[in-house]
Amino acid sequence: MLIDPNNPFFDRLWVRLICVAAPLAWAGVELWNRQFFWGAGFAAAGLYLAFALFVQRGR
């Protein structure tokens, strides 16, 4: 994994939500401005963080 989902930094739910929401929101900004490459990159990062911080956490 690129990040450690069991790091104490990610113990709080609001930290995990912000870490996932920020790149997904920025992907929306990039897609709104028709920058599809950057939008796809930030969307992939947000989805990866969602998977790592909510699915893989605790395994």
Helix axes 13-32, 36-50, angle to 10 degrees: 160
Q: What is the pLDDT of residues 9-59, one digit of tens each?
A: 999 999 999 999 999 999 999 999 999 999 999 999 999 999 999 999 877
pLDDT of residue 55: 95
pLDDT of residue 58: 79
pLDDT of residue 22: 99
pLDDT of residue 35: 98
What does the H/E/C string look like for 13-52?
A: HHHHHHHHHHHHHHHHHHHHCCCHHHHHHHHHHHHHHHHH
The pTM of the whole model exceeds 0.85:
yes
Indicate if the pLDDT at residue 1 is higher than 80. no
